[in-house]
Structure 1
């Protein structure tokens, strides 16, 4: 598939929020118009004419950043959420509705059907009928997206379909929970594969995407009242694209983009990647097209926008850029050569088809540049007058960041997005963090990283100076469980006003644990029991200070949550209520960390706790066998490095290595990558040895011994240096001396 990337418009209001893009239905012309809202609180509707964008109308400033743009189902009326207020506009720009809701949260989800309005904030979804309260739903966890469909039947009101942070898709009929569907990651995007015919008995085809990068199709059967898995939208394991780490899904929708008669799936991801998948209904989706725009995707829709001849993908990015992915004009090899057309689904720049269109576009751009220069001079003069009496301290650039645990790599990914190019980023942490690597989102270059020798107050000090003009930066970290604190990130944009935003990111004690659906069976579980005069909210807050993926507040009288260590694969179950909490885990180090943190939190609140522990000796060989998988790999790597030079001498003397065993030939063929990996081995071995030390110390501390002798720890270190699993297990089973 060959597509051109065509820039349509760049909003003047700076950055934009998620889901603030909409393609209007057809009007009198064969081209469709596009609506985009930005953080300046302005809704802009534009259309394309002879290759240039022309603004049809702009709304007056709404007073708050636009947080959601939605079309009324089946009609061409625009509804805008900004703050806690909903505005309604006709396609001509006439305001016909201004409705102040009773929400205290910013409207981030909005669906309008006839006189019904579904407006959602972070946790509360409110239903309005003719602008009057008709019900509400309190979500167990944060609401990330919202759709509505006739799930309960064709003659019933639409049901709300909610994407929740706690790895569930929930369907509500009015205020009642109708379906609850678990997935393998926090659900961040919802969409429909195709529009459902009213009265149809076929299942509703619901698309979903997760924060972990997975996308799938769920089927809601309105006849049998069940919700089941359709398929996962991913390539086969044999294809190399499966091994590529994919960013979180921001937008997902269905459209017949390829013209095959079957709906395709369009996906926009957090790292700027746009994907088109075919043959989804067959159960074996095929990735037909993929391109990276190097900015976080904020909105995605489909329509006939640039010429009216092709169905196009319309995309908005964080900085306010609106682009179209349009099928290539293949008439004539000269046009293809002039455009630099490349096979294989890479981004292209569309050639101008006529000198008149080019001249008009240049004239429009010159007029826009002149207006911007005049605006800049006015702002500069105003700033100079203001600076005579006061010091400017407002941050001119809105920085967006995400700190996400990547479960497949057991590390954190810090992503920084800026509307302006980033000059440098400074990192400082009061807790030990292993900086793995970093990359610029908009170039192939890697930032220049300068590490400084930290001290006990700041173990991590690093500066990353960008080489290009990126608006996006990604940094990977690995934390050490049991050590917690705060990491500070100073972002310096390339602006005339040198003010840098400060981002504070908490690092939690059990930072490498992620929430899962259930606890596996047949695990040797240690138990930690806590009783005291604490409330459910207090113990919920204490646990939330230890782990990620826990809702801000409890939803039941007794809560239960299960977590898994992304590094070792151990599990922990927390079951707690007012005055009582029971934690079960197969890792004694996890239980010791929980005990220390919960005791500290209770002491700060002057609450007395009664704590009992039950350590299962069978859990220790279980954990050591999990560590053995990684330790064996590191020791095998050291053996391969020692073989590189002797094997190279054999290759020089004999001229060939075909007579060697396959594993030895593998060492010769991959000698450079093996050496590069070995250079990082000291950090990895130190991390693994630290896990074993913590496990050993935790065992005896939980059994009532305040400390472990220095001689025993030195003996443990010697065993790890001459690693043998049986010897290590035997050492753990010996009584302490």
Structure 2
């Protein structure tokens, strides 16, 4: 079943944040609803749409950035009171614009997320959670993880008030009276929480950074239930969720907004094994910050109202928009009303163009004058993120600017590979890198016209850590550039998990010394991704588990004041941690004792993990070389192809797929060779033997790869052990 929606643009506001858009409830079914929207310039406005014209109800003066908008009301009444948060303050407005609440929360950090339920107010900063009732503080909680969203609800059976906070450390925590009563582990970092209400059921769903939507079971199993929207490919992060009956069905639909601009409508049946079906998808080419469903443009027509990062407010309506336009012999005929609106819009555009021209001339004249006037560089807000993609062991780097991007220069002081991205239409050119000057990568992306969002993919090398810098140049006058820095950590290809296999052959690293809990936690934070910024516990041992996206190896970290233990089935991981911690402790002149236990069986285990990757990509490389050779021989016409053997004919038929796969994994075979070489050097380094002179022989064995020969080269005594 397909759902057809039509786009209608309504308004443009300033740059917006998450949860910036709401619809005031209607008094009778089918009537149009008023729109509440707030932006980063501190302006809150409420408007209605009457006969396709915007009618402004009220608008506040500019101020501090508004981070969240929520609607609520007294228990048992309509939720028509507007609450906004900015800095440490919460203000409340009636639907007519009267200020009835100005509350200073006295929080130690700015408010990033907010939820209002009756007389209860829930405010979260980056690490702090506060619960207020009737503007009185009744409890707070300090979280080591970064908090990204908060919601609250009454449990159906017990009617207890429970607040849920989504944390970056792949955890959703439930709090009662500001105490954590439940910690639910999820596979991916959550980005947004939503209460799904349908047919007297109340469920909690959440979106993740890799584009999935999961269901929580708070009452029965008190844990993660299942994925209801899942894609095997890496999808863009989910920024907002709403539930609404867009089609006549038994259950409400789930509407999803993503950071890559996709807006998707799903039908779901939570009691069925079939999780979801996609009904509609559209892309607006900008990050979606907020969406909500209701009736906006025309009475009795359902609509998805969307706010984008740059401040565009538009609707996706079920009403057919092109109803007043007909064509005849390539000429358009409009109704009188439509013709008048077109003339009015043309006049407005001409007037704006004249005003812009005058202001530009005035500005140019001021920059050339001999007075003390000077050219001002505009402050542009750049939205950036670097998210790990587990599917292809890479990082997705996203840069978004409110105006069009001219070019982006990437510079890295460590070796990284750039991968192809389908969505990326920019032209890339490489400059000659100078590793001796700390430049391993210099690449320039020249963007197409009106591109304000750029997505890149990079692959890092573990053990090589440093900084990746992106110089973003927008198309504005005067010319300016902003720099964004992204840290590449020593174990950059690892991600956090909640448990690991205990039966694997682990190598052990133990460190003891006069270091504090804060120091060892800081070192682990600098070494491995997805480590909480602050330690969760003070007196007990902190235990964290990680997995490698490239090889699937595991890592366990246990640390406390004066002591740290690391266990991994990859000896190279242990070597990287040891080198990094030794360097950091030397900087601070802290004396430490290091002990290492090497498990010889871990070598067999790692080589067995690499074996299928090595075989498949070695085969792919040979097939691409054969294709190049066939084309050099001029095997292009049908007659010559038919004269070839079946093997080569099949190879030529699959050429497009093979070359696409090969180009998507540049230097993959070299990467595997590098991992095996490092493994060999690290293994014998811990045994006190230098084997650099034997590396050429190792590479020869890899070129004529055989698992048994490679294992015997690593462990010549293995047959005696067998």
Length-normalised TM-score, structure 1: 0.88
What is the aligned counterpart of 2:712 among 702, 711, 730? 730
Measure, in 2, the Cα distance between the counterparts of 1:606 and 1:175.
41
What is aligned with 1:169?
A: 172
Q: 1:678 to 1:325 in 2, by over 3 A?
A: closer
Shift of 1:619: 0.4
Shift of 1:144: 1.0
Gaps of 5+ in 1: 236-241, 341-350
1:186-208 Cα offsets, whole Å, 9 max, x none, are: 011111221685xxxx5x31111
Q: Deviations over 1:140-184 (max 9, x none)?
A: 31111111101385544x221111111111111111222221111
RMSD: 3.0
Task: Identify the residue that residue 66 of structure 1 maps to in structure 2.
Answer: 66
* Equivalent in the alignment of 1:537: 518
Cα distance change of structure 1 residues 377 and 582 upon mapping to structure 2, 3 Å threshold: farther
Question: Unaligned regions of 5+ residues in structure 2, if any?
Answer: none
2:400 is aligned, of 411, 417, 429, to 417
Q: Quick check: 263-272 or 73-82, which moved more?
A: 73-82
The answer on whether the counterparts of 1:427 and 1:488 sit within 8 Å (CA) in structure 2 is yes
Matches of residues 307-706 of structure 1 in structure 2 within 5 Å? Answer: 307-329=298-320, 355-356=336-337, 359-360=340-341, 363=344, 366-367=347-348, 370=351, 374=355, 381=362, 385=366, 388-389=371-372, 392=375, 394-438=377-421, 446-456=425-435, 457-556=438-537, 557-641=540-624, 643-644=626-627, 652-653=638-639, 660=646, 666-678=650-662, 683-705=667-689
CA contact (8 A) 1:265 1:276 kept: yes
Q: Distance in 2 between matches of 1:555 and 1:448?
A: 45
Q: Secondary structure at the match of 1:621?
A: helix
CA deviation profile, 1:411-447 (whole Å, cap 9, x unmatched)? 0110001110111001111111111125666xxxx21
Specify the alignment match of 2:255 in structure 1: 266
Aligned partners of 1:280 and 1:286 also within 8 Å: no
1:122/1:142 contact within 8 Å kept: yes
Which residue of structure 1 aligns with residue 104 of structure 2? Answer: 100
Distance 1:170 1:420, change over 3 A: same
- Report SS of the residue matched to 2:182: strand
- 1:10 aligned partner: 12
Q: For residues 516 and 105 of structure 1, do their structure 2 counterparts lie closer, same or farther at Cα, with a shift above 3 Å needed?
A: same
1:316-365 deviation digits (Å, cap 9, x = unpaired): 11110111111143998x96989x9xxxxxxxxxx999542563476368
In structure 2, what is the Cα distance between the partners aligned to 1:22 and 1:379?
A: 36
Residue 353 and residue 220 in structure 1: after superposition, are their counterparts in 2 closer, same or farther (change >3 A)?
Answer: farther
Aligned pair count reads 698
Residues in 2 aligned to 1:599 and 1:234: alpha-carbon distance in whole angstroms: 44
Checking the alignment, whether the CA contact within 8 Å between 2:210 and 2:234 is kept in structure 1 is no
In structure 1, what is the equivalent of residue 215 of structure 2?
217
- Provide the C-alpha distance between the structure 2 equivalents of 1:538 and 1:164, rounded to a whole number of angstroms: 23
Preserved CA contact (<8 Å) 1:624 1:729:
yes
Taking the aligned partners of 2:333 and 2:144, their CA distance within structure 1 comes to 52
8 Å contact kept, 1:51–1:361: no
8 A Cα contact 2:121 2:131, kept in partner: yes
Pair 1:476–1:337, CA change in 2 (3 A): farther
Task: Say whether 1:716 aligns with 2:717.
Answer: no
Change (3 A) 1:561 1:47: same
- The 1:82/1:192 distance shift into structure 2, 3 A limit, reads same
Aligned 8 A contact 1:167 1:182 in 2: yes
Quote how far apart the aligned CAs of 1:389 are: 2.9
Structure 2 counterpart of 1:37 = 38
Alpha-carbon offset, residue 312 of structure 1: 1.0
| Residues 149 and 165 in structure 2, CA contact (< 8 A), matched pair in contact too | yes
SS of structure 1 residue aligned to 2:675: helix
Say whether the 8 Å CA contact 1:67–1:106 is kept in structure 2: no
Label 1:376 to 1:188 Cα distance change in 2 as closer, same or farther (>3 A): farther
The 10-residue stretch of structure 1 (414-423 or 491-500) with the greater mean CA deviation from structure 2: 491-500
Distance 1:406 1:428 in 2: 21
Measure the CA separation in 1 of the matches of 2:507 and 2:355: 69
Shift of 1:27: 4.8
Matched, 1:160 2:139: no
Q: Are 2:279 and 1:288 equivalent residues in the alignment?
A: yes
Distance 1:523 1:27 in 2: 63
Distance 1:559 1:53, change over 3 A: same
Alpha-carbon deviation of 1:286? 0.8
**Which whole-Å CA distance do the structure 2 matches of 1:106 and 1:352 have between them?**
54
- Taking a change above 3 Å as real, the CA distance of residues 311 and 352 of structure 1, as seen in their structure-2 partners, is farther
1:372 deviates by 8.6
CA distance in 1, matches of 2:611, 2:67: 49
Q: Distance in 1 between matches of 2:426 and 2:595?
A: 50
3-state SS of paired residue (2:121): strand
Question: How many Å separate the matches in 2 of 1:386 and 1:83?
Answer: 36
Does the CA-based 8 Å contact 1:193-1:264 persist in structure 2?
Answer: no
- CA deviation vs aligned residue, 1:482-513 (integer Å, no higher than 9, x gap): 00111111111111221111101111111110
1:84 and 1:101 in contact (8 A); partners too: yes
Inter-partner Cα distance in structure 2 for 1:337 and 1:180: 61
Asked whether the 8 Å contact 1:512–1:567 carries over to 2, the reply is yes
**Mapped contact 2:184–2:224 kept (Cα < 8 A):** no
Q: What do residues 254-295 of structure 1 show as CA deviations (whole Å, max 9, x unaligned)?
A: 111112131111111111111111133233111111111111
TM-score under structure 2 length normalisation: 0.90
Indicate conservation of the 8 Å contact 1:438/1:447, yes or no.
no
For the 8 Å contact 1:515–1:549, the answer to whether it is kept is yes
Q: 2:150 aligns with which of 124, 146, 153?
A: 146
Alignment match, 1:76:
80
Q: Is the 8 A contact 1:69 1:81 kept in 2?
A: yes
569 and 258 in structure 1: CA distance in 2 versus 1, 3 angstrom threshold = same
213 and 679 in structure 1: CA distance in 2 versus 1, 3 angstrom threshold: closer
Matches within 5 A, 1:240-259: 242-259=231-248
Corresponding residue of 2:26: 26
8 Å Cα contact 2:261/2:288 also seen in 1: yes
Q: Measure how far apart 1:397 and its partner are.
A: 1.7
Alpha-carbon distance in structure 1 between the residues aligned to 2:357 and 2:24: 33
In the alignment, the residues of structure 1 paired with residue 283 and residue 172 of structure 2 have an alpha-carbon distance, to the nearest angstrom, of: 28
1:189 to 160, 170, 192: 192
Question: What whole-Å deviation, never above 9, does each CA across 1:390-418 have from its counterpart, x for those lacking one?
Answer: 65564432111001111111001100011
* 1:239 aligned partner: none
Contact (CA 8 Å) 2:507, 2:571: kept in 1 or not? yes
The 1:571–1:244 alpha-carbon spacing in structure 2 relative to 1, beyond 3 Å, is: closer
